[in-house]
Amino acid sequence: MLKMVKGLHIIGLAVLAAMLVACGQRKNTSSAGEAAKSVPFPEVKIPNMITEPSERMTYVLDHFWDGMMSASLAGKCDSLHVKGILKDDVEQKFGLYTTILWSAPLDEACKSVSRLFSAAETCEKRDTSSNVFETITKFAEKYFYDPNSPLRNEGFYLPYVEGLAKSECVSEAMRPAYSYDASMCALNRIGTKAADFSFKDLCGKVHTLYGVKADYTLLFFSNPGCPNCREITEMIESSPEISALEKSGRLAVVNVYIDQEIDKWKSFAADYPSEWICGYDHNYIIRTDVTYNVRAIPSLYLLDSQKRVLLKDAPQDKVFERLTEIATAQNP
């Protein structure tokens, strides 16, 4: 795979490092015998004439799955294999693919995912005994949509789940569930204005999201006593770059509690950093009206000055990476 990535300076060492972490250097659970019977994942070969880093990345995204999806590749499909390739290997490649998607513009990434869905669906229609569609769908949900995935991105999952909601390869009984997931992925999507809402602070004062004035707003849905929420709080407080953004007034942190144990929240609220704008959803609309698709706590959104969504329910490392870039761009 190093040959495939060589020359992609946009991705570079960051992607390779992410590949080792996100793809996990996962232990191969298959026996030596099964590995010997398997075929390798078909790698992308970038033409030598393509030298521009961005064009090389585009080519990789356009052709990442071509070899595996090709009708000419035949192999057994069972609990350990997908077209003769070990499932563990396919999953590692899916993790790498997701990492590369994060390095691409969102519209380009979504087009790549749409092509992946179409290719997997074509495999299913061509041979219903194949497990390609089932396997890729499983990995798409796991890597793009699972709230515990360190690479999750609802923007990536949206074109895939929209396909599932309409596909004849999916049972009619399952299509409404996929349609609902698609509607949730489309909610407050990147590039659109986040939904406004009101919240009440510890003193009883009512605020609105749109009433917060700053170049950037970090919307932080948290719970009192949540270990991961505490970790994020400590990371924000210990980052010189993010602290500088806060002190300059360019970044506002809006920390909102959306559940119903208000007394518990009130007993904890004084422990939040004093410069934060903290409150609770006194109308209970965020969960009951599904104003935001908060599937797990903590959940982080990064908004610009017009409250357009820059990052939606993003992994915390992606949020801190973007904030650090913003701070560094301000103070090169």
- Residues 62, 144, single domain; the answer is yes
Report yes or no on 193 lying in a domain.
Answer: no
Q: Which pLDDT belongs to residue 331?
A: 60
| Beta-bridge partner residues of 256 | 221, 279
Asked which of 164, 186, 208 is the last residue of a domain, the reply is 186
Quick check: 141 and 158 in contact, CB under 8 A? no
Asked which of 186, 216, 241 is the last residue of a domain, the reply is 186
- Residues 167, 208, single domain; the answer is no
How many structural domains is the chain composed of?
2
Q: Are strands 299-303 and 216-221 parallel, antiparallel or unpaired?
A: antiparallel
- Residues 269, 182, single domain; the answer is no
**206-208 sheet: strands from edge to edge:** 206-208, 198-200, 277-280, 251-257, 216-221, 299-303, 309-311
Per-residue pLDDT in tens (0 to 9) along the chain, 332 residues: 433 333 333 344 344 333 333 333 444 555 555 555 789 999 999 999 999 999 999 999 999 999 999 999 888 899 999 999 999 999 999 999 999 999 999 999 999 999 999 999 999 999 988 999 999 999 999 999 999 999 999 999 999 999 999 999 999 999 999 999 999 999 999 999 999 999 999 999 999 999 999 999 999 999 998 999 999 999 999 999 999 999 999 999 999 999 999 999 999 998 899 999 999 999 999 988 889 999 999 999 999 999 999 999 999 999 999 999 999 886 64
Asked which of 160, 186, 212 is the last residue of a domain, the reply is 186
Report yes or no on 266 lying in a domain.
Answer: yes
- Residues 135, 231, single domain; the answer is no
Q: Are strands 198-200 and 85-86 parallel, antiparallel or unpaired?
A: unpaired
pTM of this structure? 0.87
List the domain range (segments joined by +) for residue 321.
198-330
Q: What angle do CA 23, 32, 99 make, to 5 degrees?
A: 10
Name the token pair of 297: 């706590």
Query: What is the residue whose two structure tokens read 């929240």?
Result: 265
- Residues 7, 130, single domain; the answer is yes
- Write a three-state SS string for the chain: CHHHHCCCCCCHHHHHHHHHHHCCCCCCCCCHHHHHHCCCCCCCCCCCCCCCHHHHHHHHHHHCCHHHHCCCCCCCCCCCEECCEEHHHHHHHHHHHHHHHHHCCHHHHHHHHHHHHHHHHHHHHHCCCCCHHHHHHHHHHHHHHCCCCCCCCHHHHHHHHHHHHHCCCCCCCCHHHHHHHHHHHHCCCCCCECCCCEEECCCCCEEEHHHCCCCEEEEEECCCCCHHHHHHHHHHHHCHHHHHHHHHCCEEEEEEECCCCHHHHHHHHCCCCCCCEEEECCCCHHHHCCCCCCCCCCEEEEECCCCEEEECCCCHHHHHHHHHHHHHHHCC
- Residues 13, 72, single domain; the answer is yes
Report yes or no on 141 lying in a domain.
Answer: yes
Q: Which pLDDT belongs to residue 11?
A: 40
Report yes or no on 39 lying in a domain.
Answer: yes
Neighbouring residues of 298: CB distance < 8 A, sequence distance ≥ 6: 220, 221, 222, 223, 226, 228, 229, 232, 316
